[in-house]
Structure formats: C-alpha cells, structure tokens
Amino acid sequence: MYDIIIVGAGPAGLTAALYAARANKKVLVFEAKSPGGQIINAHLVTNYPGVKSMSGSEFAENLYNQVIDLGVEIKFETVLSIDEDKNVITNKDTYKAKSIILATGADNRKLNIENEDKLVGKGISYCATCDGNFYKNKVVAVVGGGNVALEDVLYLSDIVSKVYLIHRRDSFKGSELTLKEIEKKDNVEILYNSTVTKINGVDKVESIVINNNEQDQTIKIDCLFVAIGQEPKNIVFKNVIDIDEKGFINTKDGVHTNIEGIYVAGDARNKLLKQLTTAVSDGSIAATVAIKEMEK
C-alpha cells in the first residue's frame, strides 16, 4: 500500500513526488517512457524564475535526481486503468494507494512532416511564450487556427520583424476580437487555405514550403511555431474520471477530480497557461492537498 501513487514523471508529477516525499509519505511514480515530459525537448529554458538559462533536459535530470535522492520509487510501467478504490493497474501488476495524482500531461500535435522532429529546438517550436524571445527581430511563422495560434501571433508580433499566420481553412475557430487585433498589425501576413508540406534546413530551419490552392510557395523563416492543439493522455481513465470532449480532465478548482482521493496536476487538465512554472505549481499544490485530506 502506497500513500500516493503519481501517474506521470513530467515536471508536475515529479514535483508532486518531491513534496509528498518531503512529507514522509510512501510514494510511487509511474512513467511509460522517460522522465521529464515535454520539457526535455526544450533547447533552452529562460523563463523559469531565478534561473537565467538552462536546458530542458538539465532541468528534468536535476528534478529526477532530487526525487530519487529522497527515496521516491519510480517504475517504468504503462498504466492501463485505475478504479474508484485507488487501484492502479499497469502492464505488469496492480498497485494500491490511499491517493492518486494524475499528471499524465499532453503531447503537442505535430504536422508529421519530414524534418519536424529533427529540428525541434532548432527552428521548430510548440510554445511561442517559451521560445519567442530567441527570434527577436527575425521572421517566423505560426501554423494553426484556434485561440492558441492567434494569441501566439499577437504575442510574437511585438517581438519579431514579421509573422506569417498559416491556416488550412478560410476562416478561424479562434476569437474574432483577437483576429481583429492581428489584422491591425503591419508585420503579420495571413495565409488562408494553406498547408505546410515541407520544412527545409539541415542544422536549423531555413524555409518552409506551403501549398495554397494546389500551388507551392517557399517562405524563408527562422522559426515555425506549431499551434495545432494538444493530445492529452487520459483516455484510459475515462470510465472513472470525468473528462471533457477533448480528453482533458475536468476539475472545478484545478486539483480535485470527480472521485474523492484522486487528483490532477499539470497539462492533463485544461488550463489557461501550460508552462514549466505552472506545472511545478500544480504538482506542489496537488501533493499538498492530497496529504492534507489524507491526514484528516
């Protein structure tokens, strides 16, 4: 029997483990792949308070070692399901806990074209607020049609020299008010009915090819920001946990799920800002709440 089982070893999950271990709780963390979550793909992190610059992999490694040094048990197993009695079933065994924290995160949707994975951190980014400052006074493109894409363009337009907004349809799903603000910007060019078909570059992004009405156009850019949504990893919990239509865990207060003793932290839930700072904040809050309610 564990006091707390945490599903996911990204920043939110490992921070929850850190706080739980420091409270002398018996903690088990499950991770299906490698610890660190999406942050390990960040070439540089420059917006974490108190740290001028660090690589995402460096942050993940430091946090992992810090948790291990506290005696937290980490198993690299895939969680297949959980139930209301706090049983966690993996591909190898069944485990019992007093409380569960779901910190499964979410994967950025990709364009799935050649060179995309190769050039992540070298001109391919999935987070404008994380990486925008690296491209000050340069030319960038944003692909997407929802609120995140529009907000990214508005944010980047105050930093870079030019932004191409690329959308596969002739209208946007995002806020009309935000779109009107974008249309006022002299350094933004909107490309409707366009699809990115190729990314050119060896060591960094040099240009992209877009298809517009069956015609190819090459655009020289320094960075392509991909903002086409995220894919949460909560489908295995849907028979127990209340999940919205996009697969994110519903929560009224950012911590509690619909099941007593089961909590959520990080990008597994739908929230306004998905950053390293908010992930560690979520993890610390979820662990603190779980401990407090466990000890009642």
Q: Of the listed 127, 152, 222, 267, which one is catalytic?
A: 127
How do beta strands 94-102 and 87-90 pair?
antiparallel
Q: Is 244 a catalytic residue?
A: no
| 33: its two tokens | 């792949």
Report the interhelical angle of 276-294 vs 11-22 (nearest 10°): 40
127 catalytic per annotation? yes
Q: Catalytic residue, from 3, 131, 152, 282: name it.
A: 131
Phi-psi region of 266 (alpha: psi -120 to 50; beta: other; left: phi over 0): left
- One of 93, 117, 130, 282 is an active-site residue; which one? 130
Residues marked as catalytic: 127, 130-131
